[in-house]
Amino acid sequence: MGLQSRHLLGLEGVSKDDIHLILDNAVSFKEILKRPIPKVPTLRGKTVLNLFYEASTRTRISFELAEKRLSADTVNFSKTGSSVAKGETLKDTIRNIEAMNIDMVVVRHAAAGVPLFLTKCVDAAIINAGDGMHEHPTQALLDMMTLREKYGKLGGLKVAILGDVAHSRVARSNIFGLLTMGAEVMVCGPKTLMPYGIDEMGVEVSYSVDAALEWADVINILRIQLERQGKGLFPSIREYHTEFGVTKKRLEKMDKVITIMHPGPINRGVELDSDIADSENSVILKQVTNGVAVRMAVLYLLSGNEGGEESS
């Protein structure tokens, strides 16, 4: 029983069964990670290329650990120190690398659609580690794993996604995945940071963080990208914190427990108060731990998928 696709480009269109299959495997791998030697020979002899055109700490390290714990050989490529500077096309870069017999490529790129494009160029299995404002599927999978772990199921759960929804690949992947799994999703943030057509995605929309908190079982707080300030879309940091910051005061008004999620890195004191990030209802570090297990599951499930239609 494998996944329906031989790549993981996003969660749009991925079936409930496939998501369950990934999460079930991730649970098994999480058990393995608790062993004294948290390593399995599953991908021995396979080579995985980590192709990161955007800076990354946690996602890159998380994938690299997942690969090493599966005993894969890993090769890292980052924009700096490479011949990208020499003006080579993306297609030539990837085809050249594939000609060296790479089995899987984990790719992050500032342009949406790059992972899809790569599937047209090479035979290797492609895993999207974040492409522009499009999708970041393994982030949403680890978010869902964390929630399923806590609540036992995803169906019926009310998840509010808060922040700069318009520019967030994390939001998009979570929306697709959570709706597929039967959860209810609300998005909340300043009007200027809401994407066109968001109401057609099957989610609730709110512009009040208090209303979102009242509604939600879980709040997934997006990182505010400080570099977007001063472009007219964005309030000041102080204003953002006042209007949309998740604060102790706001949460104490609610007569219930709300699970706190954040994909990191956190701007403490901007979108999320520091004591809430570290509170007992926060599952932020569990998300990170589950990230390695989810990525092991994805790598494992896609590695077994031999052959393919595309030719190089």
Instruction: Tell whether residue 56 is a contact of its own copies (CB under 8 A).
Output: yes
Instruction: Tell whether residue 167 is a contact of its own copies (CB under 8 A).
Output: no
Instruction: Tell whether residue 110 is a contact of its own copies (CB under 8 A).
Output: no
**In angstroms, what is the minimal distance from the CB of 41 to its own copies?**
10
Pick the closer one to its own copies by CB: 43 or 186.
43
Rounded CA gap, 40 and 115, in Å? 27
With contacts defined by CB under 8 A, how many residues of the chain interact with its own copies? 57
> What count of Cα atoms within 13 Å lies in the side-chain half-sphere of residue 45?
2
**CA distances (Å), origin 168, targets 52, 108, 223:** 18, 14, 9
Residue that has been written with the tokens 């989810």 in this structure: 294
Strand partners, 160: 186, 219
Instruction: Tell whether residue 88 is a contact of its own copies (CB under 8 A).
Output: yes
The region of 3-11, 59-67, 239-247, 297-305 touching its own copies under the rule CB under 8 A is 59-67
**In angstroms, what is the minimal distance from the CB of 299 to its own copies?**
15
Of the candidates 296, 287, 290, 284, the one whose C-alpha atom is nearest the C-alpha of residue 106 is 296
Instruction: Tell whether residue 44 is a contact of its own copies (CB under 8 A).
Output: yes
Instruction: Tell whether residue 28 is a contact of its own copies (CB under 8 A).
Output: no
Among 264, 282, 305, 310, binds its own copies (CB under 8 A): 264
Rounded CA gap, 274 and 266, in Å? 9
Among 36, 152, 197, 232, binds its own copies (CB under 8 A): 36
User: Hey, what are 182's tokens?
Assistant: 């039967």
- CB count in 10 Å sphere of residue 284: 19
Instruction: Tell whether residue 85 is a contact of its own copies (CB under 8 A).
Output: yes
Q: What is the 3-state secondary structure (H, E, C) of 64-117?
A: HHHHHHCCCEEEEEECCCCHHHHCCCHHHHHHHHHHCCCCEEEEEECCCCHHHH
Cβ contacts of 82 within 8 Å, gap of 6 or more: none
Pick the closer one to its own copies by CB: 251 or 277.
277
Pick the closer one to its own copies by CB: 232 or 311.
311
- CB count in 10 Å sphere of residue 185: 23
Among 11, 19, 33, 171, binds its own copies (CB under 8 A): 33
Pick the closer one to its own copies by CB: 148 or 262.
262
How far out from the chain centre does Cα 270 lie? 21
**In angstroms, what is the minimal distance from the CB of 68 to its own copies?**
5
**CA distances (Å), origin 261, targets 50, 131, 202, 289:** 26, 21, 21, 13
Question: What is the DSSP pairing of strand 158-162 with strand 218-221?
Answer: parallel
Among 16, 17, 99, 113, binds its own copies (CB under 8 A): 99
Instruction: Tell whether residue 80 is a contact of its own copies (CB under 8 A).
Output: yes
**In angstroms, what is the minimal distance from the CB of 73 to its own copies?**
5
Pick the closer one to its own copies by CB: 13 or 304.
304
Judged by the rule CB under 8 A, the positions of this chain that interact with its own copies are 33, 35-39, 44-45, 47, 49, 52, 55-58, 61-62, 64-65, 68-69, 73, 75, 77-89, 92-93, 95-97, 99-101, 226, 264-268, 285-286, 288-289, 291-292, 312
